[in-house]
A and B are shown apart, each in its own frame.
Chain A
Amino acid sequence: MDITFYFPPLADYVATFPMLVLAVAALLCVVVDIFYNDAKGVAILAGASLLVTLLFEAARLSLPPAKALYGMVYVGGTASLVNMTILFSGFLTVLIAQPYLKRLGRNYGEVYALLLVAVVGMMALGSAANLLTLFAGLETMSVCLYILTALVREKDGAIESALKYFLLGAFSTGFLLYGIALIYGATGTMDLSDFADRLASTNAGVMFWGGTALLLVGFFFKVSAVPFHMWTPDVYQGAPTPISGFMATASKTSAFAAMVLVLGRALPSAQWQTTVAIVALLSMVIGNFVALAQSNVKRMLAYSSIAHAGYVLTGIASATPEGYAGALYYLLVYTVMNVGAFGVLAYLEHDNRQGDTQTVDSLAGTGQRYPLLGVVMAVCLFSLLGFPPLAGFFGKVYVFGPAVKSGLAWLAVAGVLTSAVSAAYYLRVLYVMWMKPSPDDAVAPQFEGVPPLAAVALAGCAAFLLLLTFTPWVMDAAVAFFRDVPAAIVSLP
């Protein structure tokens, strides 16, 4: 082999700049933390590196998609969009989590190192061009999230949720890895772009489809789709609230993006379409109906995130480029509204009433006491509900529309009906927050206010969701961009 093969060209380093920068920043966080224990600078370093990489990916958004590092990862175009969503979630999480963890006395430097490494893993997973990259990214992400879940280890249920997440996650990773092994055994390749040719030339037998099924199980677990959703409420409830928001958004975005790459590009849709459609239906129905019965708000949001996984899967099940683009658009909107909702919940824990055992009833009057949090929560929940002028509504249009076009009208109808059901539990939270009087209990709320940067992040979430609606040119640009994305996915090299 040619010697130059071993030296990646400079362009590859530029293309994977965000991953490299964040990995180095994570190591720097550790170094700073070694010498200045839990220094404030660690959070600033993490936030700054996420912001820089976010801007870098934004600049590469219009580039044609390409592969880098010996065809192991996709860069530019769609991959940049996915990376931006992940980085945006990470950036908002740093802004929201820093004051929250400080208040809990858990503002360890390691948190940011783990967060950055998790983001690197997610980016590798979401832009994987090879099953090996996919697996390495998935593991990097998962291990960091297991640790972050148990951050407040003395708290009731934190260890339980972390251990549950670890055991089930490790088990599902085993499924995924076994699936990869079988697929490799059947086709002799790990490269996603080779599958189409190999499948055409060889007779894909039980081994290949068995491997695909196991791979799907691994994916369904990571995106918490029914029937692999059991861990979700327990884990989201036990983890520190901003971290729950991060897990619910960034890790799902990357797993869905990898799913689009594997299913959309590498495998013929005839075989998996029905499976994905049925899982989508189950997720929407079970997620929304079980959420109705929840009194703990974090658990309710966890079940709502299961339902939202169902909506995204509806877009993927349509098996058309428009459906994939809709799923990616939905993930961007979903990320913003969920980070916002979990962020508001995190700061409501600070009024010395309920801590993080908030039930819906304990939120009474919080809207009037803390108008900023109340308004942000209202915007996020209306958007999660898919209320017309907000971004969540357009997200649903973009995932249900393609499903109808590819003959899955029943699935879209089920999606719309279950969305109507979800109104009951989203609006109940808002009703209690704004219209129920605050209880006159002896413990006066000692609210220190939302720190400025976190307030900016939360207000930014709400503004983002409104922006897409009330500025037509942004909407037009978004539609135009997402019209181009499907073409880009199909024509990836």
Chain B
Amino acid sequence: MLASFIPLFLQILMAAGLAYTLLIAAKKLGPKRPNAVKTMAYESGMDPVGTARDRYSVKFYLVAMIFIVFDVEVVFLYPWAVTFREFLTRSPQLGLFVLGVVGVFLAVLTLGLVYDIKKGGLEF
């Protein structure tokens, strides 16, 4: 059974090999002309100011949590939307049922959103 995994192991080896080769090639072959801007820590294009170990508002976590919930919702909805047509072509009744199932899921999520708004989760 392990034999069927050989292509996978080869793939891993090739991926690691390529990454290392490129890194080493860039280091050995590439020209180096450092300046102040280039050596600065990269922070998505912003000027790095102060220490990274700063205290920041807990609201960021709140936003992140809310984002995760609705992000996961989208992840669920994509495969559902793809298979929905198949269910619908089999029988409209079945399509309605499957629509109802995902409706329950969305209703529970929406309840979460309403809860969030009413409890002031989106007020800053």
Query: Do the two chains bind?
Result: yes
Measuring CB to CB, which residues of chain A are less than 8 angstroms from any residue of chain B?
3, 6-7, 27, 30-31, 33-35
Check A30 against B115 for contact (C-beta < 8 Å): yes
A-contacting residues, B78-124, CB 8 Å: 87, 90-91, 93-94, 97-98, 108, 111, 114-115, 118-119
State which of A7, A34, A35 has its C-beta within 8 Å of the C-beta of B97. Answer: A7
State which of A6, A7, A34 has its C-beta within 8 Å of the C-beta of B118. Answer: A34
Report chain B residues within 8 Å CB of A27.
Answer: 108, 111
Report chain A residues within 8 Å CB of B98.
Answer: 6
State which of B91, B94, B111 has its C-beta within 8 Å of the C-beta of A30. Answer: B111
Pairs across A and B, CB under 8 Å, 20 listed = A3-B90, A3-B91, A3-B93, A3-B94, A6-B87, A6-B94, A6-B97, A6-B98, A7-B97, A27-B108, A27-B111, A30-B111, A30-B115, A31-B111, A33-B115, A34-B114, A34-B115, A34-B118, A34-B119, A35-B118
* Closest CB in chain A relative to B86 CB, distance in Å: 12
What number of B residues sit within 8 Å (CB to CB) of A? 13
Bound-state CA distance A35–B115 (Å) is 9
Bound-state CA distance A315–B118 (Å) is 50
A4: nearest chain-B partner, CB-CB: B94
Bound-state CA distance A34–B115 (Å) is 6
* Closest CB in chain B relative to A339 CB, distance in Å: 30
Report chain B residues within 8 Å CB of A35.
Answer: 118
Report chain A residues within 8 Å CB of B108.
Answer: 27
Report chain B residues within 8 Å CB of A30.
Answer: 111, 115
Prevailing SS type, chain B contact patch:
helix
A-contacting residues, B7-34, CB 8 Å: none
* Closest CB in chain B relative to A466 CB, distance in Å: 43
Report chain A residues within 8 Å CB of B97.
Answer: 6-7
B112: nearest chain-A partner, CB-CB: A30
Bound-state CA distance A34–B118 (Å) is 6
* Closest CB in chain A relative to B85 CB, distance in Å: 15
Report chain A residues within 8 Å CB of B90.
Answer: 3
Bound-state CA distance A31–B111 (Å) is 8
* Closest CB in chain B relative to A340 CB, distance in Å: 34
3 A-B pairs with least C-beta separation: A34-B118, A34-B115, A3-B91
Bound-state CA distance A3–B87 (Å) is 9
Report chain A residues within 8 Å CB of B87.
Answer: 6
Bound-state CA distance A75–B118 (Å) is 38
A31: nearest chain-B partner, CB-CB: B111
* Closest CB in chain A relative to B112 CB, distance in Å: 8
* Closest CB in chain B relative to A368 CB, distance in Å: 45
Report chain A residues within 8 Å CB of B119.
Answer: 34
A35: nearest chain-B partner, CB-CB: B118
Report chain B residues within 8 Å CB of A34.
Answer: 114-115, 118-119
* Closest CB in chain A relative to B39 CB, distance in Å: 37
Bound-state CA distance A218–B114 (Å) is 36
* Closest CB in chain B relative to A321 CB, distance in Å: 36
Report chain A residues within 8 Å CB of B93.
Answer: 3
* Closest CB in chain B relative to A5 CB, distance in Å: 10
Bound-state CA distance A7–B97 (Å) is 8
A7: nearest chain-B partner, CB-CB: B97
* Closest CB in chain A relative to B95 CB, distance in Å: 10
Bound-state CA distance A27–B107 (Å) is 10
Bound-state CA distance A48–B13 (Å) is 60
Bound-state CA distance A31–B90 (Å) is 37
Report chain B residues within 8 Å CB of A7.
Answer: 97
A8: nearest chain-B partner, CB-CB: B97
Bound-state CA distance A30–B114 (Å) is 10
- Most central of B98, B108, B115 by chain A CB within 10 Å: B115
A185: nearest chain-B partner, CB-CB: B1
Report chain A residues within 8 Å CB of B114.
Answer: 34
Extra inter-chain contacts (16) besides given A3-B90, A34-B119, CB under 8 Å = A3-B91, A3-B94, A6-B87, A6-B94, A6-B97, A6-B98, A7-B97, A27-B111, A30-B111, A30-B115, A31-B111, A33-B115, A34-B114, A34-B115, A34-B118, A35-B118
Report chain B residues within 8 Å CB of A6.
Answer: 87, 94, 97-98
A1: nearest chain-B partner, CB-CB: B90
B101: nearest chain-A partner, CB-CB: A6
